C-alpha cells in the first residue's frame, strides 16, 4: 500500500503560485517524489492523492513530455506515479488513475450513482423482445453464453447462474471508475462509470458509459475515433474503432468492430470481425465475419460464419413482433443479397443464396447449398463439402486466431469433421437414400419438405456424404490405437456449444452440476469447459468406434478392418482433393482467376494433401 502525506506549506505556496486552488488543502495528499512545480492551473475539490511526477512520458513517437497535471479540475481522485494529465475540459470526479498514464484533451471522467460498469447486465439475444436470457460480465466466454441462451428457460438453471454471476461481479466491482497502468486517453469526450484496464489506448472516443474495458499490457484494447459504447464489456486484444456504436453488448477476445458498425443487445466472441453493418439481438460466436454496410445480423446464432453483402434476416412475426430467431451452424455463409426468414435452422458448412422463405431446417443435410429461384427453393446436398471455399476456410481459421495462447477464455475446437458434423452427415445420407428408394431413379427431381433436389445432385450428395464419412473414420483411426474405448462417455448425440464440441451427456451433466451446486463459482464452470475440451479426443474415439462398427457392419475392429478403413480413407481423400482441384479449375475457366493464382493453389493442394502434416483438422 502506497503511503501518502499532507502537503507542506511550501508546496501549497508553490501550487498557488502555479495557478492552483483547493477547496481544502488539507484534503490533498501526496506520495514521495511529488513535485509541486509539475502541477499548473489545477482546481482541487474533495480528496486528492497525487503520486510521483518526476518522470517523463512519450506522448508520440520521439515526443517526450514531463509528467504532471495541467489545466484540470479534480474531485475525489487518486493519481498514480509518472502520469501526465492535462487539458481536462470539464472535470475528473471519483476516479482512480494508475501509473504511467497519459490523459489529455478529455472533457469528463467521473463515477455517478448506480454504476455497474456494465457488469451483470441482462440482455436478450436471439428473441429480440424476450425477457432476457444472457448476463454479460467480464468472465463470460462463448460457451457459458451459449449455455445461458439455451437453458435460461429452465428456472432452476437460470437462478443458479444468476447467483454465480452476481457473486463473481460483486467480488470484483470497484468502488469507483478506475483507469489502469500505462493507459493513454486522448481527445475523448466523456467517460462515466467505466473501468479501463492496463495498456488501453483510447483516442477520439465520443462516449463510454457504464463499461468495462478489460485491457492488459499483454492484450491491449484500442478504442478509436467517434466510438460510443454503453453498458458493455470489451475483452482483451479487441479493437473498437472508427465511429462504432454499441449498446448492451459483450465483445470477446481479439474481436474488431470498425467503420460505423452499430450493435445492440448482441455478443461477439473470439476473433469476430464486424465492419460497416449492424447487429441486433445477435449471438456471434467465434470467427463470425461481416464486412458490408448493408448487412444486418439480427435474431440469429452464428459461428465461423461469413455474411455476404446485403445479407438480411427477418425475425418479425406478422403482428406479434420480432420474436423469431434462427441458428446457422458453424461454417455457414450467405451470398450477396441473401435473405432468410426466421425461424430457421441451417446445417453445418452450408451456403445460402437468394430469398429463402418457408423457414428452412437443414440440420440433417449439412454442407449443402440452399438456392432460391423465384418461388422455388432448391437444395444441393453436400455440395459445399468439395469446394475451394471450404478447403480455404478450414485452413485459415487456426491461422487467424489472434488471441494469446496463454490467455484464451473462449474455447475453439477447429475440427470441421467431428462427431457433431458427422452425425448430421449420417442423417443426411440416410435421408437422401430414403428419398431415392421411395421415388426411384426414373425421376428428375425429389422433394424434401419445401425444397427441390435435382436427381443428379441427390446422387452426388450421397457420394459427397460417403466421402466425408470415410475421410473422418480414417483420420480418427490414425490418431488412436484401435482398441475398444474404456468409457461410454461420448456415445449418443453431440452438440456444438459455440466453438466447444462435446457430448450432449456432458452438457447435461454440466447443467445438473450448476443447478445442484456442485459447481459453486464461475471459475469452476469455466474450468469444467476446459476439462471437457481436454477430453475431446477420448470422447470422439468412443463415438467413432461405435460408428465404425455400424458403418462396416462388424463386431470388432481387427487388423483386417483397420486395413480396409485406411484404404477407404486414402481413396476418399484423393477423390476429395481431386474434386477441390476441379472446383478451382472451374473458377479459372470462368475467367475469374489468374493463371498464377490457380497454379499456386494447385501446387499447394498437391504438396499439402496429408491432414496431419499440414494440420487440416477434422
DSSP string, 328-360: E-TT-EE-TT-EEESSEEE-TT-EEESEE-S--
Q: Does pLDDT of 549 surpass 50? A: yes
Q: Does pLDDT of 169 surpass 80? A: yes
As a whole number, mean pLDDT of residues 91-115 equals: 97
Rounded CA-CA distance 50/44 in Å is: 11
As a whole number, mean pLDDT of residues 321-330 equals: 87
Q: Does pLDDT of 53 surpass 70? A: yes
Would residue 82 be called left, alpha or beta, if left means φ above 0 and alpha means ψ between -120 and 50 degrees?
A: left
223-248 pLDDT, tens digit per residue, is 999 999 999 999 999 999 999 999 99
Helix H or strand E encompassing 302: strand 300-302
> Which residue is listed with cell 464440441?
501
Q: What is the DSSP letter of 408?
A: -
Residue 197: its pLDDT value, please?
A: 97
Q: How confident is the model at residue 129 (pLDDT cuts 50, 70, 90)?
A: confident
Q: How confident is the model at residue 319 (pLDDT cuts 50, 70, 90)?
A: low
Q: Does pLDDT of 528 surpass 90? A: yes
Helix axes 559-589 and 536-552, enclosed angle (nearest 10): 100
Q: Does pLDDT of 602 surpass 90? A: no
Rounded CA-CA distance 506/420 in Å is: 14
Does residue 343 have a cis peptide bond before it, meaning omega lies within 30 degrees of 0?
yes
Please state, rounded to an integer, the average pLDDT across all residues of the chain: 94
Q: Does pLDDT of 461 surpass 60? A: yes
Range list of H helices, 406-558: 419-439, 455-477, 504-515, 522-534, 536-552
State pTM to two decimals. 0.94
Q: How confident is the model at residue 599 (pLDDT cuts 50, 70, 90)?
A: confident
Q: How confident is the model at residue 322 (pLDDT cuts 50, 70, 90)?
A: confident
Choose among 141, 65, 64, 25: nearest CA to 528: 141
Q: Does pLDDT of 2 surpass 90? A: no
Residue 321: its pLDDT value, please?
A: 67
Choose among 387, 368, 373: nearest CA to 432: 368
As a whole number, mean pLDDT of residues 481-491 equals: 91
Q: How confident is the model at residue 612 (pLDDT cuts 50, 70, 90)?
A: very low
Phi, psi of 417 (to 5 degrees): -105, 115
Residue 130: its pLDDT value, please?
A: 84
Q: What is the DSSP letter of 317?
A: B
Residue-range domains of the chain with CATH: 1-108 (2.160.10)
Residue 189: its pLDDT value, please?
A: 97
As a whole number, mean pLDDT of residues 368-373 equals: 96
31-42 pLDDT, tens digit per residue, is 988 999 999 999
CA-to-CA separations, 338 to 84, 162, 333, in angstroms, rounded? 51, 38, 10
Residue 406: its pLDDT value, please?
A: 83
Phi, psi of 9 (to 5 degrees): -65, -35
Residue 374: its pLDDT value, please?
A: 87
Residue 317: its pLDDT value, please?
A: 65
Q: Does pLDDT of 464 surpass 80? A: yes
Choose among 408, 296, 330, 343: nearest CA to 146: 330
Q: How confident is the model at residue 551 (pLDDT cuts 50, 70, 90)?
A: very high
Burial class (CB in 10 A: 0-12, 13-18, 19+), 43: middle
Choose among 385, 371, 387: nearest CA to 429: 385
Instruction: Point out the least confidently predicted range of 1-5, 417-421, 566-570.
Output: 1-5
Amino acid at each position: 500500500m502506497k503511503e501518502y502525506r499532507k502537503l507542506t506549506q511550501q508546496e501549497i505556496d508553490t501550487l498557488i503560485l502555479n495557478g492552483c486552488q483547493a477547496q481544502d488543502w488539507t484534503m490533498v495528499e501526496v506520495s514521495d517524489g511529488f513535485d509541486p512545480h509539475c502541477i499548473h492551473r489545477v482546481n482541487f475539490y474533495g480528496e486528492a492523492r497525487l503520486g510521483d511526477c518526476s518522470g517523463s512520458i512519450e506522448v508520440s513517437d520521439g515526443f517526450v513530455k514531463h509528467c504532471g497535471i495541467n489545466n484540470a479540475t479534480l474531485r475525489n481522485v487518486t493519481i498514480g506515479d509518472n502520469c501526465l494529465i492535462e487539458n481536462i475540459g470539464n472535470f475528473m470526479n471519483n476516479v482512480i488513475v494508475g501509473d504511467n498514464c497519459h490523459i489529455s484533451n478529455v472533457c469528463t471522467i467521473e463515477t455517478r450513482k448506480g454504476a455497474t460498469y456494465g457488469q451483470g447486465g441482462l440482455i436478450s439475444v436471439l428473441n429480440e423482445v424476450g425477457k432476457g436470457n444472457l448476463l454479460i460480465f467480464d468472465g463470460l466466454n462463448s460457451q457459458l453464453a451459449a449455455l445461458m441462451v439455451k437453458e435460461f428457460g429452465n428456472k432452476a438453471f437460470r437462478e443458479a447462474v444468476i447467483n454465480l454471476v452476481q457473486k463473481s461481479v460483486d467480488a470484483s466491482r470497484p468502488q469507483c471508475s478506475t483507469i489502469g497502468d500505462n493507459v493513454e486517453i486522448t481527445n475523448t469526450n466523456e467517460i462515466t462509470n467505466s473501468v479501463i484496464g492496463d495498456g488501453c489506448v483510447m483516442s477520439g472516443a465520443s462516449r463510454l458509459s457504464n463499461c468495462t474495458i478489460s485491457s492488459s499490457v499483454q492484450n491491449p484494447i484500442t478504442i478509436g475515433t467517434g466510438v460510443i459504447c454503453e453498458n458493455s464489456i470489451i475483452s482483451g486484444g479487441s479493437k473498437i474503432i472508427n465511429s462504432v456504436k454499441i449498446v448492451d453488448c459483450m465483445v470477446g477476445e481479439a474481436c474488431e468492430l470498425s467503420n460505423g458498425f452499430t450493435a445492440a443487445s448482441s455478443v461477439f466472441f473470439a476473433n469476430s470481425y464486424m465492419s460497416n453493418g449492424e447487429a441486433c439481438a445477435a449471438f456471434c460466436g467465434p470467427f463470425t465475419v461481416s464486412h458490408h454496410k448493408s448487412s444486418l445480423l439480427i435474431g440469429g446464432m452464428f459461428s465461423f460464419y461469413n455474411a455476404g453483402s446485403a445479407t438480411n434476416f427477418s425475425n418479425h412475426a406478422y403482428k406479434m413482433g420480432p420474436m423469431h430467431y434462427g441458428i446457422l451452424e458453424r461454417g455457414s455463409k450467405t451470398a450477396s443479397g441473401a435473405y432468410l426468414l426466421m425461424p430457421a435452422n441451417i446445417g453445418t458448412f452450408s451456403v445460402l443464396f437468394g430469398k429463402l422463405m418457408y423457414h428452412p431446417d437443414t440440420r440433417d443435410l449439412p454442407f449443402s447449398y440452399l438456392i432460391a429461384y423465384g418461388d422455388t427453393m432448391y437444395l444441393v446436398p453436400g455440395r459445399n463439402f468439395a469446394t475451394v471455399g471450404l478447403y480455404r476456410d478450414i485452413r485459415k481459421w487456426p491461422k487467424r486466431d489472434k488471441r494469446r495462447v496463454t490467455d484464451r477464455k473462449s474455447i475453439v475446437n477447429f475440427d470441421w469433421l467431428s462427431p457433431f458434423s458427422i452425425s448430421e452427415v449420417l442423417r443426411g445420407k440416410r435421408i437422401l437414400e430414403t428419398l431415392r428408394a421411395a421415388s426411384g431413379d426414373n425421376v428428375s427431381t425429389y422433394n424434401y419438405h419445401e425444397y427441390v433436389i435435382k436427381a443428379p445432385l441427390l446422387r452426388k450428395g450421397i457420394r459427397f456424404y460417403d466421402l466425408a464419412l470415410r475421410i473422418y473414420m480414417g483420420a480418427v483411426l490414425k490418431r488412436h490405437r484401435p482398441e475398444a474405448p474404456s468409457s461410454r462417455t461420448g456415445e449418443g448425440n453431440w452438440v456444438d456449444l459455440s466453438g466447444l464440441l462435446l457430448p450432449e451427456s456432458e452438457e447435461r451433466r454440466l447443467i445438473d452440476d450448476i443447478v445442484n451446486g456442485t459447481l459453486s463459482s464461475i471459475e469452476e464452470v469455466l474450468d469444467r469447459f476446459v476439462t471437457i475440451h481436454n477430453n475431446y479426443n477420448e470422447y470422439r474415439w468412443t463415438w467413432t468406434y461405435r460408428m465404425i462398427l455400424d458403418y462396416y457392419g462388424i463386431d470388432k475392429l481387427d487388423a483386417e478392418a483397420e486395413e480396409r478403413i485406411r484404404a477407404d480413407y486414402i481413396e476418399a481423400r484423393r477423390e476429395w482433393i481431386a474434386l477441390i482441384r476441379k472446383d478451382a479449375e472451374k473458377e479459372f475457366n470462368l475467367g475469374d482467376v489468374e493463371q498464377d493464382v490457380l497454379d499456386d493453389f494447385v501446387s499447394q493442394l498437391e504438396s499439402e494433401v496429408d491432414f496431419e502434416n499440414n494440420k487440416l483438422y477434422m
